[in-house]
Chain A
Amino acid sequence: MALSGMRGLSVFISDIRNCQNKEQERLRVDKELGNVRTRFKNEKGLSPYEKKKYVWKMLYIYMLGYDVDFGHMEAVSLISAPKYPEKQVGYIVTACLLNENHDFLRLAINTVRNDIIGRNETFQCLALTMVGNIGGRDFAESLAPDVQKLLISSSARPLVRKKAALCLLRLYRKNPDVVNVDGWADRMAQLLDERDLGVLTSSMSLLVALVSNNHEAYWSCLPKCVKTLERLARNQDVPQEYTYYGIPSPWLQVKTMRALQYFPTIEDPNTRRSLFEVLQRILMGTDVVKNVNKNNASHAVLFEALALVMHLDAEKEMMSQCVALLGKFIAVREPNIRYLGLENMTRMLLVTDVQDIIKRHQAQIITSLKDPDISIRRRALDLLYGMCDVTNAKDIVEEILQYLSTAEFAMREELSLKAAILAEKFAPDLSWYVDVILQLIDKAGDFVSDDIWFRVVQFVTNNEDLQPYAAAKAREYLDKPAIHETMVKVSAYLIGEFGHLLGRRPGCSPKELFSIIHEKLPTVSSSTIPILLSTYAKILMHAQPPEPELQNLIWAIFNKYESCIDAEIQQRAVEYLALSRKGAALMDILAEMPKFPERQSSLIKKAEDIEVDTAEQSAIKLRALQQTSNALVVTDQRPANGTPPVTQLSLVKVPSMSSNVDHHVADQGLSQENGTLTTVDPQPPSADLLGDLLGPLAIEGPPSADVQPQQNIVSGVEGVPNAVEATAIVPVGDQTNSVQPIGSIAERFQALCVKDSGVLYEDPYIQIGIKAEWRAHQGRLVLFLGNKNTNPLLSVQAIILPPSHLKLELSLVPETIPPRAQVQCPLEIVNLRPSRDVAVLDFSYKFGNDMVNCKLRLPAVLSKFLQPIPVSAEEFFPQWRSLSGPPLKLQEVVRGVKPMPLLGMANLFNSFRLMVSPGLDPNPNNLVASTTFYSESTRAMLCLARIETDPADRTQLRLTVASGDPTLTFELKEFIKEQLVSIPTASRAPAPAPPAPQPTSPPAAALTDDPGALLAGLL
């Protein structure tokens, strides 16, 4: 039964099938495209049927991977065809070929709308399907209300309504700001009473989308979800066609349980009890059966039930039951169940109290590491990695190492990385750690990055007890016939530094050490030779009493490399030769390397390099970065040096050029650290900058202000270390304004802190609007100066008082604003460093005899340089743990918090571009948020924050902030604190006194009215 018999299309497909190779196929496709193109050109003679045929051909060609860059208009025009078949193909093909921003779609909106509101159900379906598949903004704007009407219409058939539900869902997901769902809670509750399971499934999906955005509004739907679940689980009133392999619509069951997971908790005891009864029934009543499809369906429901139980924080007994169930699953024959068992057990790790029960299954999980299916092995590895701690690290890491020898290529890198991380994190003793890393290099040298072996060197250097052991181990590996080059590097380094500690052990005389290392020289690349040369020099130095024979051997080698083409090798050879001829001086110079200084985690350093275009992209990159650099997490726990590149890893301490480089690197590291620390202090250059700015102000400032000279003195004497202090000083005496602002300046400022456009200041004469765009550490702010009157505003002046952390460039402000005119002044902003200080706009103008001056804070606040970034639990926790303690992680108990529900707090955070990740923290009273901060000094830097609230006392909470930069952590913490303690509009509203109508108020009263003074008070 061919649905749309199109002979031409079949012939074409046949032809394509008969093509012997890709080239023939291309020729055939090109011919067809040419044909279609010509036919479309003389459109006149084209019947709708032909159009339809050609459009299908185009879609087929498109699927084969050829770009079809014409005919879009024809596809769109078919939408308006009166007959069903043409209309249908128009809709289908448009949905496939065009993206949501395509201009042609706008042309079709009217037709689409007519189809949706029309009486023809089949046309309605077609239109809804296309809108749902594309989901563009234009569609959302013009069609969402119609779709909503259709969904709740009592006359529409289920076939139409279920599509309307999903269409609305798509539009809402893509454009939540456009689709108005206010008051939809009641409608959703009604929709959940639907008897038709098709409509109910779609409605449930819609509910999931709505609830995930705002669960507060949809509490009324919760009991209905539980009812639906009961109805299905007990198989009441479920029609045969919705029973899938004996299971009442598993999809609806799954969706319903998904929706329930978006409610933080279930308070009503009756609802909770009935839900747990259903869940218990699902957990206990599911068996593994022979039929694959039935198995899949029943377990889909079961795994969703497990997730819901985890979410609801069930009693420990039920949790243990779940773990036991999962333990059973990871051992069954059915691979899908094994896979999901492991995956869910990994999720279970986040639940407190069950880790010990999970550990009981360790043996089985280790067995899964040998599963024939790589997907399952990966899950097993993830789980082992997640459950590893000091108690089982030895077992797990050794299993991973063992598996490494047989693992396929695709997994080796991940395995080695994870083994290295676990070994360092949970090493019960350091010698074991050295063993593991050396084994790792031995088994998978190709996958062991340089920083892993650098770290072994750092550990050994900093732990004297470890040195003889490490040297002996290195010596053992050198006996192996063929070893990886990385092993040559690390063992040569260790032998050079600590070989003499092996003393009189057999095979460890200087000469023997030398010859066994020298054996490797012909097999290594030029990056390793410098290390070997250093080792020779050290061996020579340690050979006491001197051995002339060894000396000659080594000198001969140095001689040979004196003319090496590789500069690094040549330089070392020359220098070592010269040094070793100096005799005693050699001892000082080649003495043991000093201990490595402590240093911050390099993971964070790497995170700074992320260039971000969109939040989503950055999330991808961040994840990618994490996967490769988790190893670096550990650096901060133990002393580590600045992992120098191989060529700089010289063993020599002072005089040679190459060793200078080494120290230079260390110095740089130190000075950088100093650099970031000093940023807390005010920077001298900014004072100069300010002086320049204040200069013109003093000369051209409002003449009526007789405090001007005083101000000048103040700034002259004190040097005004930073702009904010300056503004705090200035306005005290500056009280000449007789013009009162309209509305509260403080409120306007606060509002602008959370949005990007609005009014900054307004009085009877002028309105200053702002529109801002922020991109990473840069911003562009446009000031709109609007003269509200029919007389011009004169002597207009705008001067920016920038804090030291912002670079601001204001374009020229005209001296006069003509009547009823608006002037735009763009302002470029660059954020240099993290700081909470605020830029101030000193604005003045003259209207008639009134001289008006106001100082306005510009909303270029810290949060504007934040970019919300979503993190998953897998990403968050390692990061959080890696930033351990001050100064990178700061904690404070904040009191006097304005009490607000947790949701309100989450919204507050989101409004300041700190992205709250709901459900990430297992405790429902806590909030966890993440964001990226941008500035020139820090570049992109991930910031994490956690709020622990006390449900009994909402006025206090514990705030923890972490980031890779100490200043940033501090500033961000203070910033968040400010937002929590004094809620912007609510608490500040009373502060600015209502405009006092007396123009000649006494100075004290004027002080409160003056925006500048107000500002001083606020700062």
Chain B
Amino acid sequence: MIRSVMVMNTQGKPRLAKFYDFQTVEKQQELIRSVFGVLCSRAENVSNFLDAASIFGPDSSLVYKHYATLYFVLVFDSSENELAMLDLIQVFVETLDKCFKNVCELDIVFNYSKIHTILDEMIFGGQVLETSSTELVKAVEEISRLESASNSITLVPKSVSGWRNR
């Protein structure tokens, strides 16, 4: 089971935090901080695995991927395959990229609600729900259509582009 999905930037600011076992807000912050503490000291070109047991207790693993200014982190137990989880991060990011056309940190910051929607279509109660980014985009577009009734348009400025290059 996946226990948590976290997205944080390279300064350690959380951009998305989802815990599939309920955690208090203090505990959430503590976990995010601990994870960032380890992440920020990792060199480039090392493995995507971290020793998670010291932070999340026994039977937990952590994989992360670093894209431009963001870390994507998945924490899960031994019932999941490590590399498959890493692939899932890739699917998540590819989906974001399709939804936002060259996604950047700002897209994630200002479209906070949409990120949640995408995540809910991909991971469900700690289990992998959908792995095809095509299907994901389809589902999200359907939801957008439903929403459009009460939608007013916001324009979000984009500053960074072409950041998806790890």
A residues within 8 Å of B by Cβ? 1-7, 9-10, 13, 17, 49, 56, 59-60, 62-68, 83-85, 88-89, 92, 96, 99-100, 122, 129, 132-133, 135, 159, 162-163, 166-167, 169-170, 173, 197-198, 201-202, 205, 208, 240-242, 244, 249-252, 254-255, 258, 293, 296-297, 299-300, 303-304, 335-336, 338-340, 372-376, 378, 619-620, 623, 872
Contact = CB atoms under 8 A, between A and B. Distances in A.
B53 to A, nearest CB: 8
Given A89-B113, A251-B88, A84 B147 contact: yes
B48 A336 contact: yes
A65 B28 contact: yes
A241 B134 CA distance: 6
Contacts of B160: none
A4 B131 contact: no
A336 B151 contact: no
Nearest to B117: A3
Given A1-B100, A85-B147, A338-B47, 16 more contacts: A4-B113, A5-B154, A10-B110, A66-B25, A84-B149, A85-B150, A89-B113, A96-B18, A198-B135, A240-B134, A296-B83, A297-B87, A300-B84, A336-B83, A340-B83, A373-B46
Contacts of A166: 124-125, 127, 129
Nearest to B18: A96
B58 interface: yes
Interface string B102-125: 000000011111101100100011
Given A7-B154, A13-B109, A17-B109, A244 B47 contact: no
A5 B151 contact: yes
Nearest to A373: B46
A82 B126 CA distance: 28
Contacts of A49: 150
- Of all A-B residue pairs in the complex, the 7 with the closest CB atoms, nearest first, are A300-B83, A132-B125, A3-B114, A99-B22, A373-B46, A335-B47, A241-B134
7 contacts: A5-B154, A65-B25, A166-B127, A208-B79, A250-B83, A376-B47, A872-B59
A132 B2 CA distance: 13
Interface in B76-108: 79, 81-84, 86-88, 90-91, 99-100
B67 interface: no
Nearest to A173: B1
A687 B62 CA distance: 59
Contacts, number: 214
B58 A619 contact: yes
Contacts of B57: 620
Contacts of A3: 111, 113-114, 117, 140, 143-144, 147
B124 to A, nearest CB: 4
Interface string B135-151: 10001101110110111
A971 B29 CA distance: 47
B82 A340 contact: yes
A163 to B, nearest CB: 6
A208 B80 CA distance: 11
Contacts of A242: 131-132
A251 B114 CA distance: 24
Nearest to B16: A63
B25 A251 contact: no
A76 B156 CA distance: 29
Interface of B: 1, 14, 16-18, 20, 22, 25-26, 28-29, 32, 43, 45-51, 53, 57-59, 79, 81-84, 86-88, 90-91, 99-100, 109-114, 116-117, 120, 124-135, 139-140, 142-144, 146-147, 149-156
A179 to B, nearest CB: 14
Contact of B131 (A163, A249, A293, A620): A249
Nearest to B85: A300
Contact of B147 (A4, A9, A299, A339): A4
A922 to B, nearest CB: 18
A335 B149 contact: no
**Among the interface residues B113, B130, B140, which one has the most CB atoms of the partner chain A within 10 A?**
B113
B14 A88 contact: no
A620 B124 contact: no
A100 B125 CA distance: 12
Contacts of A297: 83-84, 87
A205 B81 contact: no
Contacts of A299: 83
Contacts of A620: 57-58
A133 B20 contact: yes
Contacts of A255: 128
A9 B112 contact: yes
Given A99-B22, A300-B83, A293 B90 contact: yes
Contacts of B14: 63-65
Contact of B87 (A201, A258, A300, A303): A300
B14 to A, nearest CB: 6
Contacts of B150: 49, 83, 85
B127 A250 contact: no
Contacts of B139: 159
A373 B79 contact: no
A132 B152 contact: no
Nearest to B150: A85
A60 B115 CA distance: 12
A378 B51 CA distance: 8
B120 A83 contact: no
A49 B152 CA distance: 11
A297 B87 CA distance: 6
Given A4-B147, A85-B147, A10 B83 contact: no
Contacts of B87: 244, 250-251, 293, 296-297, 300
Max chain B CB contacts within 10 Å: which of A4, A122, A244?
A: A4
Contact of B125 (A63, A122, A169): A169
Contact of B49 (A135, A162, A250, A336): A336
Given A3-B147, A336-B48, A241 B132 contact: yes
Contact of A67 (B1, B25, B109): B25
Contacts of B49: 336, 339, 375
Contact of B127 (A65, A202, A296, A373): A202
B51 A84 contact: no
A75 B87 CA distance: 33
Contact of A88 (B128, B135, B143): B143
Given A65-B25, A166-B127, A202-B127, A1 B144 contact: yes
Nearest to B107: A2
B146 A122 contact: yes
B141 to A, nearest CB: 9
A99 B109 CA distance: 25
Nearest to B81: A254
A133 to B, nearest CB: 5
Contacts of B51: 374-375, 378
A92 B115 CA distance: 11
A721 to B, nearest CB: 46
Nearest to A379: B49
A819 to B, nearest CB: 49
Contacts of A304: 81, 84
Contacts of B144: 1, 3
Contacts of B59: 872
Contacts of B110: 2, 10, 13
A303 B149 contact: no
A310 to B, nearest CB: 14
Nearest to B62: A375
A28 B143 CA distance: 32
B128 A296 contact: no
A163 B20 CA distance: 16
A7 B152 contact: yes
A375 B46 contact: yes
Contact of B81 (A241, A303, A335): A303
A524 B44 CA distance: 43
A241 B120 CA distance: 19
Given A3-B111, A208-B79, A133 B153 contact: no
A132 B46 contact: no
Given A3-B111, A65-B29, A293-B90, A163 B83 contact: no
